């Protein structure tokens, strides 16, 4: 028995939970992986076509967008096959939408964990994002297929892709933290999130390229943090054809940083009462 060399006691006091939070987060990191694993394993269980769902959604939306924006509205494609132009934006958008939805619901879905065990709650919305990453990887296979079909390959810039994925993750987590914490108290956010996602699809340059947005609307337009991410994806994947608006990107990154930081703060502030309210 290790009776001498007693570890320092754990103190439970009002407002004290704060002190060892980040250390605890590290200590409980395995829960993160197990929750993420659970969500991935469960995601397509008992579905007839399984992981094909991860492909079907962006593919079908892409086809509709090509039909509407390219075939009917005849939007310019900047020398890129229109399906690839759309699908390059579809990937980060679907990832963002999926991750935001999952993390926003994560606390309520895991209510029984929250009321029965202790671990830093931040793990829950964070791990909820991981399955969307897997979906992103699966959906990316279609992009490779499309590129092979059109024989259109990205250049060296493709290595910057992880950076843009990271920004999309931060955006989803930032908004997700806000929504999931608010959702614990006000279940209204269950209805708000799908609305935000649906609305966002039309105000983000998914079906069209930013080139069609009139210059005078650009500042307002780049307030949407996903604009920078989508532009970045196109820039990284479409080679010389796409241009990157550096100022817009920086603005996106700054906005997302603020969103994430405030999300973490709000989450931490309300976290203590989750078990009492949920």
Q: Which residues of the chain form contacts with other proteins (CB under 8 A)? A: 1, 3, 6-7, 9-17, 28, 30-31, 33-35, 37-38, 41-42, 45-46, 112-119, 184-188, 272-273, 275-278
Choice between 111 and 213, CB closer to other proteins: 111
Q: Closest separation between CB of residue 131 and other proteins, Å?
A: 13
List Cα–Cα distances, 186 to 173, 174, 178, 214, in angstroms.
19, 18, 12, 38
Choice between 231 and 271, CB closer to other proteins: 271
Nearest to 193 by CA among 106, 131, 124: 106
Q: Closest separation between CB of residue 38 and other proteins, Å?
A: 6
Choice between 185 and 247, CB closer to other proteins: 185
List Cα–Cα distances, 276 to 73, 117, 174, in angstroms.
53, 13, 24
* Residue 248 to residue 255: CA distance in whole angstroms: 11
Q: Closest separation between CB of residue 122 and other proteins, Å?
A: 14
DSSP 8-state class, residue 173 = H
* Residue 7 to residue 23: CA distance in whole angstroms: 15
Q: Closest separation between CB of residue 88 and other proteins, Å?
A: 34
Choice between 9 and 240, CB closer to other proteins: 9
Choice between 124 and 260, CB closer to other proteins: 124
DSSP calls for 74-130? ----TTS-HHHHHHHHHHHHHHHHHHHHHHHHHHHHTHHHHTT--S-TTHHHHHTTH
* Residue 179 to residue 248: CA distance in whole angstroms: 25
Q: How many residues belong to the chain? A: 278
Q: Closest separation between CB of residue 187 and other proteins, Å?
A: 6
Q: Closest separation between CB of residue 115 and other proteins, Å?
A: 7
Choice between 112 and 216, CB closer to other proteins: 112
List Cα–Cα distances, 41 to 34, 50, 51, 65, 198, in angstroms.
10, 11, 11, 31, 27
Q: Closest separation between CB of residue 106 and other proteins, Å?
A: 13
Is the torsion defined by CA of 136, 145, 228, 220 positive or negative?
negative
Choice between 37 and 247, CB closer to other proteins: 37
């Amino acid at each position: 028995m290790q009776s001498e060399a007693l570890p320092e006691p754990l103190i439970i006091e009002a407002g004290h939970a704060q002190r060892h939070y980040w250390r605890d987060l590290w200590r409980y990191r395995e829960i993160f992986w197990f929750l993420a694993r659970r969500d991935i394993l469960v995601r397509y269980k008992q579905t007839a076509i399984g992981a094909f769902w991860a492909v079907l959604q962006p593919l079908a939306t892409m086809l509709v967008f090509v039909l509407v924006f390219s075939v009917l509205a005849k939007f310019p494609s900047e020398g890129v096959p229109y399906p690839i132009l759309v699908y390059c934006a579809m990937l980060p958008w679907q990832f963002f939408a999926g991750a935001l939805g999952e993390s926003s619901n994560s606390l309520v879905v895991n209510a029984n964990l929250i009321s029965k065990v202790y671990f830093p709650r931040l793990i829950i919305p964070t791990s909820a994002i991981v399955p969307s990453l897997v979906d992103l990887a699966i959906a990316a296979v279609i992009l490779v297929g499309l590129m092979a079909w059109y024989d259109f390959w990205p250049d060296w810039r493709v290595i910057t892709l992880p950076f843009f994925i990271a920004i999309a993750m931060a955006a989803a987590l930032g908004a997700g933290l806000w929504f999931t914490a608010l959702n614990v108290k006000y279940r209204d956010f269950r209805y708000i999130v799908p609305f935000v996602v649906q609305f966002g699809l039309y105000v983000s340059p998914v079906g069209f390229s930013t080139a069609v947005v009139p210059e005078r609307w650009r500042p307002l337009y780049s307030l949407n943090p996903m604009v920078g991410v989508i532009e970045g994806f196109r820039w990284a994947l479409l080679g010389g054809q796409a241009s990157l608006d550096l100022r817009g990107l920086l603005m996106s990154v700054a906005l997302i940083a603020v969103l994430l930081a405030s999300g973490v703060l709000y989450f931490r502030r309300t976290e203590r009462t989750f078990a009492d309210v949920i």
